[in-house]
Amino acid sequence: MDAQRDRLFKALLTAAEHADDAAALTAYLSRLGRGHRKYGTLPTHYPAVGECLIAALTRYAAACWDEAAEAAWVRVYTAISQIMIDAAAEDEAKSPAWWQAEIVSHERRTRDIAVVTVRPDQPYPFLAGQYTSLETPWWPRTWRHYSFSTAPRPDGLLSFHVKAVPAGWVSNALVHRARPGDVLRLGPPTGSMTVDHSTDNGLLCLGGGTGIAPIKALVEDVAEHGSRRPVEVFYGARRDDDLYDIDTLLRLQRSHLWLSVRPVVSDGPTRRLSGQLPQIVRQYGPWTTYDAYLSGPPGMIRSSIDALTHIGIPPDRIRHDSIHELMAG
C-alpha cells in the first residue's frame, strides 16, 4: 500500500506542477490513463478512489479544510479522472491493455546484466528510444520500466538490457531466474526520447550502464533512415568490464562512417577515456548544433543536463527519460 500511496501522491503533485500548461497536463494524464489499463482499471473505479481521497483529506487536512477546499478538490479530481478515462477508452479501440511476451532468448553478458529477448503475442508498435512497463510471473502486479534496446525489428522481437540491482525484485528475477519459454506481460510503449527526423542536427548521445540500450536503438533508427547525420556516442561505465555492449557499438561504428563511439570509464584502471561522462563530453565538441540524448541513472542525467546547458545546448534540445520516473524506479 505504501508504494501505491506514493504513486497517487506523485501523480497529484505532477498534475499540480502542470496545472498552468493544459497541453502538458492532458498529455501526462492521458498517458497515465492508458497505462492504468494494464491494471484492469475500469471507469467505475475512479469515483471510489475519489471518495477515499476526499475522506482522507477531510480527516488529515482538518486544520485548513472547508467547503470551498472540498469543492475545489472534487472539481480537480473529476477533471483528472475524466481525462484518464477518456484516454483509456480511446486507447482501447486501437490496442490491447497488455501484451503477453514469451522469452525467446536470455543471454548473460556479465554477472548481473542479461539481454532478454521476447516475442509479443500481438504486434507491438513502438519507436526507438522508448521504454515499456513489464511484469514477471514471479512478482504479479509489480511493474517496472525497461527500455527497448533495438529499433523496431522486422521479426517483431523486443530486447531489453536488464541489470540486477541489489535486492531488486524484478531485475533479479529477469537476470537470474528468467529462461526461454517464460511469459512476461508488457504495458504500452512510452517515452519521448525519440529521434527528431525533421532536422539534420547531429545527435550527441550519452549512455550510462544499461542506459546504452535505448541509445543503441537510436543509432539503429538513424541508420535505417539512411541519413548522414553525425552521431557521437559516449558510453559510460564504472569499470572496463562493465562496458558489456561495447563490441556491438564498435561493430556499428565500423559499418557507419557518421557514427563515433567513445567508451568512458569512471573508476579503476583503464585504457579507455577516464572520468565522468559529462566532464569528458565537455572536452570534445563544439556541440551547439547537436541534439542531446541522455540515458542512465538519475544522477548522471542531472549532471549531464547541467554540463550540456552550460556549453550552449538549449534545454529543449536535450532529451531524456523522466527523472521523476527514474527516481521512483
Scanning 8-16, 102-110, 145-153, 258-266 for contacts with ligand FAD by CB under 6 A, the matching segment is: 145-153
**Rounded distance, CA 54 to CA 59, Å?**
9
Task: Decide: is 319 part of the binding site for ligand FAD (CB under 6 A).
Answer: no
Answer positive or negative: Cα dihedral of 251, 274, 244, 218: negative
Which distant-in-sequence residues (6+ apart) come within 8 Å of 318 by Cβ? 291, 292, 294, 305, 308, 309
Binding mask 92-121 toward ligand FAD (x if CB under 6 A, else -) reads: ------------------------------
**Rounded distance, CA 16 to CA 20, Å?**
8
Hey, what's the cell of 87? 484516454
Task: Decide: is 165 part of the binding site for ligand FAD (CB under 6 A).
Answer: yes
- Whichever of 49 and 165 has its CB closer to ligand FAD, that residue is 165
Which distant-in-sequence residues (6+ apart) come within 8 Å of 132 by Cβ? 126, 145, 146, 148, 158, 186, 187, 188, 189, 190
Task: Decide: is 131 part of the binding site for ligand FAD (CB under 6 A).
Answer: yes
Task: Decide: is 294 part of the binding site for ligand FAD (CB under 6 A).
Answer: no
- Whichever of 69 and 246 has its CB closer to ligand FAD, that residue is 246
State in angstroms the smallest separation of the CB of 312 from ligand FAD. 27
**Residue whose CB is nearest to ligand FAD in the complex, by number:** 168
Provide the β-strand partners of residue 318: 292
Task: Decide: is 38 part of the binding site for ligand FAD (CB under 6 A).
Answer: no
Task: Decide: is 321 part of the binding site for ligand FAD (CB under 6 A).
Answer: yes
- Whichever of 6 and 200 has its CB closer to ligand FAD, that residue is 6
- Whichever of 58 and 110 has its CB closer to ligand FAD, that residue is 110
CB 193 within 8 A of CB 185: no
Which distant-in-sequence residues (6+ apart) come within 8 Å of 27 by Cβ? none
Scanning 122-130, 140-148, 233-241, 253-261 for contacts with ligand FAD by CB under 6 A, the matching segment is: 140-148
Residue from 101, 162, 186, 308 touching ligand FAD (CB under 6 A): that is 162
- Whichever of 50 and 297 has its CB closer to ligand FAD, that residue is 297
Hey, what's the cell of 2? 505504501
280-287 long-range Cβ contacts below 8 angstroms, 24+ apart: 280/234, 281/204, 281/206, 281/234, 281/307, 281/308, 282/307, 282/311, 284/232, 285/311, 286/311, 286/312, 287/204, 287/311, 287/312, 287/313
- Whichever of 145 and 317 has its CB closer to ligand FAD, that residue is 145
State in angstroms the smallest separation of the CB of 75 from ligand FAD. 31
Task: Decide: is 317 part of the binding site for ligand FAD (CB under 6 A).
Answer: no
End-to-end CA separation in angstroms for the chain: 16
Q: How many CB atoms lie within 10 A of CB 5?
A: 10
Site for ligand FAD in 166-225 (CB under 6 A): 166-172, 210, 213
Scanning 17-25, 66-74, 163-171, 220-228 for contacts with ligand FAD by CB under 6 A, the matching segment is: 163-171
Answer positive or negative: Cα dihedral of 153, 159, 243, 312: positive
State in angstroms the smallest separation of the CB of 138 from ligand FAD. 11
State in angstroms the smallest separation of the CB of 198 from ligand FAD. 24
State in angstroms the smallest separation of the CB of 147 from ligand FAD. 4
The edge-to-edge listing of strands for the beta sheet with 290-295 is: 273-274, 259-265, 231-237, 202-208, 290-295, 318-320
Task: Decide: is 320 part of the binding site for ligand FAD (CB under 6 A).
Answer: no
Note the residues at the interface with ligand FAD (CB under 6 A). 131, 144-147, 160-163, 165-172, 210, 213, 321, 325-326, 329
